[in-house]
Amino acid sequence: MYFAWQAGKNPAHTAYATANMTGANRLLIGLGWATVVIAFWLETGTRVMTLGKDQKVKVVTLAIATLYSLSIPFKETLSIIDSLFLLALFIMYMVVASRAHVIEPKLEGPSAMIARFTTGVRRTITLLLFAYSGLAIFTAA
């Protein structure tokens, strides 16, 4: 967030913002997915992880975003159009995901404690935790 903000004020910082974005993608795709598959293999002994139909929307959305991001270095620009496309893709994902069947997780620890409160109290606690997290990230940046 800091690098993107600085790049908006000073074009000399653009390389930092793009390095941050590409580094995050490399970590997600190169390390994140590999770690999930290796952990699955170590736990089950199965070398192939079969994704359920409910995972299709997530994987397809991520694939579209990844393929689109590959065009950015060839264009040598990052514009408001790119932002609008990726934002629209995210909104589309959220709409489709919100309509999907939800399996309620088994709650333990702090989440189980929060779940015992009324809806209004739960939402207030969630908003406070969100604000606290945002403040921590903002302070760190």
Same domain, 18 and 61: no
User: 120 lies in which domain range?
Assistant: 106-141
User: What is the DSSP annotation of 1-46?
Assistant: -HHHHHHHH-GGGHHHHHHHHHHHHHIIIIIIHHHHHHHHHHHH--
Q: Are residues 85 and 43 part of one domain?
A: no
Torsion sign across C-alpha atoms 12, 13, 14, 16: positive
Q: What is the pLDDT of residue 90?
A: 94
Are 82 and 88 a contacting pair, CB within 8 Å? no
Range of weakest confidence among 17-21, 38-42, 98-102: 17-21
The more confident residue out of 29 and 107 is 107
Do the beta carbons of residue 59 and residue 51 sit within 8 Å? Answer: yes
Residues 96 and 111 both lie in one domain: no
The yes-or-no verdict on residue 108 having pLDDT over 80 is yes
Instruction: Look at residue 129 and tell me whether its pLDDT is greater than 90.
Output: yes
High-pLDDT (> 70) share of the chain, %: 99
Please tell me the predicted confidence (pLDDT) of residue 123. Answer: 96
7, 46: one domain? yes
Q: Tell me: do 110 and 132 sit in the same domain.
A: yes
Please give the C-alpha separations between residue 15 and each of 2, 23, 53, in angstroms, as whole numbers: 13, 12, 39
Residues 59, 7: Cα–Cα separation, whole Å: 30
First to last CA, the chain: 7
- Confidence tier at 120 by pLDDT (50, 70, 90): very high
pLDDT band at 87 (very low <50, low <70, confident <90, very high): very high
